[in-house]
A and B are shown apart, each in its own frame.
Chain A
Amino acid sequence: MKGLLGIEDLRRDEVQAILDRARHFQVGPGQRFRKFDLLKGRMVVNLFFENSTRTRTSFELAAKGLGADAISITAQASSVAKGESLVDTLNTLGAMRPDAIIMRHSASGAPHFLQRHLEIPIINAGDGTHEHPTQALLDARTILDRGKQLEGLRVAIIGDIAHSRVARSNVYLLSKYGAEIVLCGPASLLPMELGQLAPGVTLTTDMDEAIRNADVIMMLRVQLERQHEAAFPASEYFPFYGLRLEHLKLAKADAMVMHPGPINRGREISSEVADSQRSAILNQVENGISVRMAVLERVLGGEQNAGAAH
């Protein structure tokens, strides 16, 4: 495994290996994460061109939990703000010889573009409206932790699908397991071509239809910052696409509610649902660390490559 740019290009067994390994790093309720020295002496750079405290912290904890050194650079603090090009920035970082670069960028494909110019493996921590592979992995881990199977699972993903990297990565991952994926949102945020992304995907603009018999309801953050023009009347969002308690009656009895965070209470999800027993939102955050540990270990090669010349 070189870097991790997206779920689309992974085979199912590669996904499974990460999900399995992540269990090894999980801890029980209320416990602190254990420390390993599997990546002792290795260095990773967290390069965040877009703010994301949650994902950046999660990667940092994961790297440190494995004994690696982690340096975080945010775009505002780096020379990016001084007009240095993406390639120049990466060449500079490359000269520091990190073992991997974890990258978040607001432009789709930015890590793919850079990987073509750089030997150092890049882990995509979210690129524009394209992919967010570790989010899909941690979501899958969270679903499995609730005793569900991915095969044949009915998952409703609801919100601004068009601009969601979380939705794309989840579609690719779930489809590899033969899950049934229903994408739902206002028509202008639900391009018809989504139906051709992967097998098992259907589309609906009707929230009730999406939720009916669902095993998992994934709500997406409404990305107002990505909405360049009014694609829907803002006041109509919550009434038609916000998740409320009464919706849960339509889903399977043990259905779980997920959200990649940060949540907008009262915009895409009501507080009652977010805080209910059905909600797995905090489990997702926890699993972020264990799944990212598994990804880092895999990309950096773990013990067998530690200390190898590079």
Chain B
Amino acid sequence: MPALLIKNGRVIDPASGYNAVADVWIEDGVIKGVGPNLSPANAEVFDASGLIVAPGFIDMHVHLREPGFEHSETIESGARAAAAGGFTSICPMPNTAPVNDSPTVTTYIIEKARRHAVVNVFPIGAITRGSKGEELAAIGSMRQAGAVAISDDGRPVMNAQLMRRAMEFARSFHMPVINHCEDLHLSAGGDMHEGVESVRLGLRGIPGSSEDVMVARDILLAELTGARYHVAHISSRHSVEMVAYAKLKGLPVTSEATPHHLTLTDAGMIPYDSNYKMKPPLRSSSDVNAVVEGVVNGAIDAIATDHAPHAGSEKMQEFEKCPFGIIGLETALGIALDRLVHSGKINVNRLVELFTVNPARILGLERGTLAPGTAGDVTIFSTDQQWTYDVNKSFSKSRNTPFDGASFRGGPVATIVAGQIVWKA
């Protein structure tokens, strides 16, 4: 395989602090060098003039629906959508059928990905068997099989004692515990954020406090156990404030936010349109502003999509019957640029950090940097090219997004995995 030389882009590698117009040389699947005027022999050249050249983006929260729900997504189609969104690594949550709660399922996903996925796939294992919240899953064996974290995403562990045991056990395997924070009693039956809009629309509410009480519990348990703890798709003001407090106390607590929770509010929903139905729900503008502030001030470490494909028929029902979740891989960068960079909230360097080195550090991956010798994963993106998202051209098998037809300034241009261009705009 010939070398790949990415020429004349603005190379931004927050892990090393590098930020200059330069070339990136990849050969044999790894980064060989970064600097001005590189000229390896027989290299294929990619002209990145006017573009940003960053370490490959990592999405630490996706749903690939395989095994079990291949009509909505497969490892192959989800990986293609990831590549088209500029992601070189993705972490599928364990809520498949069967649940990824054993080394067998973890190995199945990794093998499937090795053969069919154009990007790297790092599975997240379940905390409890079947994600039923009753007894711990085979956490250590899943770690050995390649799982990078544990989570019962969507079916959070309600039993505090069990969560404590999970944290203690995960700590011995250096795995972060990721929690979808939702007290299932407080949120029971809810379809959208609880507030004026839910009262107006006659839909049952999911109060912000259903997220907050579990974030509070988990932070206290993280302190008790010394575990590395990560809040998935944070969406409420109080939760962001509590994570900031935990960080201030020096606890190993991190969090991620989705593009939609940075952008959309309950008041901005098209009423009863299930493309606006997800968990956590779209919250108030005060919450959305707090999530943006959290990205700015560091309470939030990563942007993750919570890409949640659902086949069309599942979303063509009464709102209360529709499943939760939207797809998000292909629009994440466009939304983040619009909402965070073009609005002047953060610079491009910080944006790259949120997509690369931060998720890599949380998960303990030796990626998210352009350091020589590391994986040759690179994301090339524009900060000014206009484009419009057409979901009917999506690589995902599902079409559930509120961003169909949205226009963006800047987005992915090319995605390179182990030195190979796997997607180009």
Give A residues with C-beta under 8 Å from B: 8, 85-87, 105, 107-110, 112-113, 127-131, 162, 165, 168, 191, 193-194, 196-197, 228-229
Q: Are B272 and A85 in contact, with the CB atoms below 8 A?
A: no
Of the A-B pairs whose beta carbons lie under 8 Å apart in the complex, a sample of 5, sorted by A's number, is A109-B271, A110-B319, A113-B273, A113-B319, A196-B196
Name which residue of chain B comes closest to A131, CB basis. B202
Q: Which residues of B sit under 8 angstroms from A113, Cβ to Cβ?
A: 272-273, 318-319
Given A86-B318, A229-B188, do A127 and B202 touch, yes or no (CB 8 Å)? yes
Scan residues 81-100 of chain B and give those whose CB is less than 8 A from a CB of chain A: none
B41 sits at the interface (CB 8 A)? no
Q: How far is the CB of B66 from chain A (nearest CB, A)?
A: 25
Q: Give the contacts of B231-289 with A (CB-CB under 8 A).
A: 271-273
Q: Binary interface profile of B, 200-237, with partner A (CB < 8 Å = 1, else 0)?
A: 11111100000000000000000000000000000000
The answer to the question of B365 belonging to the interface, with a C-beta cut-off of 8 Å to chain A, is no
A228–B189 contact, CB under 8 A? yes
**Are A130 and B201 neighbours in the complex by a CB distance under 8 Å?**
yes
Q: Does B195 contact A (CB under 8 A)?
A: yes
Alpha-carbon distance A8/B201, docked complex (angstroms): 11
Selected from A85, A86, A108, A229, the residue in CB contact (under 8 A) with B202 is: A108
The answer to whether residues A108 and B319 also contact, given A85-B313, A228-B189 and a CB cut-off of 8 A, is yes
Which of A8, A105, A109, A196 is close to B203, meaning CB atoms less than 8 Å apart?
Answer: A109
Contacts of A109 in B (CB 8 A): 201-203, 271-272, 318-319
Partner pick for A112 among B194, B272, B313, B321, CB 8 A cutoff: B272
Query: Given contacts A86-B317, A113-B319, A229-B188, is CB(A108)–CB(B196) below 8 Å?
Result: no
Q: How far is the CB of B273 from chain A (nearest CB, A)?
A: 8
Known: A129-B204, A131-B202. 15 other contacts (CB 8 A): A85-B317, A105-B318, A107-B319, A107-B320, A108-B201, A109-B201, A112-B272, A113-B272, A113-B273, A128-B203, A129-B202, A191-B194, A191-B205, A193-B195, A196-B196
Expressed in whole angstroms, the minimum distance between the Cβ of B194 and any Cβ of chain A is 8
Q: Count contacts on B: residues with CB < 8 A to the other chain.
A: 23
Chain A residues with CB under 8 A of B272: 108-110, 112-113
Q: How far is the CA of A129 from the CA of B320 in the complex (A)?
A: 12
**For residues 311 through 343 of chain B, which have their beta carbon under 8 Å from a beta carbon of chain A?**
313, 316-321
A128 touches B320 (CB 8 A): yes
Inter-chain CA distance A228–B204, complex, in Å, is 11
**Contact present for B319 and A87 (CB under 8 Å):** no
List residues of chain B with CB within 8 A of the CB of A127.
Answer: 202
Question: How distant is the Cα of A108 from the Cα of B318 in the complex, in angstroms?
Answer: 8
A133 to chain B, nearest CB (A): 13
Alpha-carbon separation in the docked complex, A109 to B199 (Å): 13
**Contact of A130 with B316 in the complex, beta carbons under 8 Å:** no
B202 touches A130 (CB 8 A): yes
A191: nearest residue on chain B (CB-CB)?
A: B199
Docked CA distance A197–B204 (Å): 16
Chain B nearest CB, measured from A160 CB (Å): 12
On whether the beta carbons of B316 and A193 are closer than 8 Å, the reply is: no
CB-CB nearest in chain B for A117: B316
On whether A194 and B199 interact (CB within 8 A), knowing A87-B316, A112-B272, the answer reads yes
Distance (whole angstroms) from the CB of B318 to the closest CB of chain A: 4
Give bound CA distance, A108 to B272, whole Å: 8
Contact A128 B202 (CB under 8 A): yes
Would you call B199 and A193 a contact (CB within 8 A)? yes
How near does chain A come to B276, taking the closest CB pair, in angstroms?
A: 11
Central interface residue in B189, B195, B196, B202, by most chain A CB within 10 Å: B202
Could you say which residues of chain A place their CB within 8 Å of the CB of B317? Answer: 85-87
Residues of B near A128 (CB, < 8 A) are 202-203, 320
Complex Cα spacing A140 to B225, Å: 62
Chain A residues, Cβ within 8 Å of B271: 109, 112
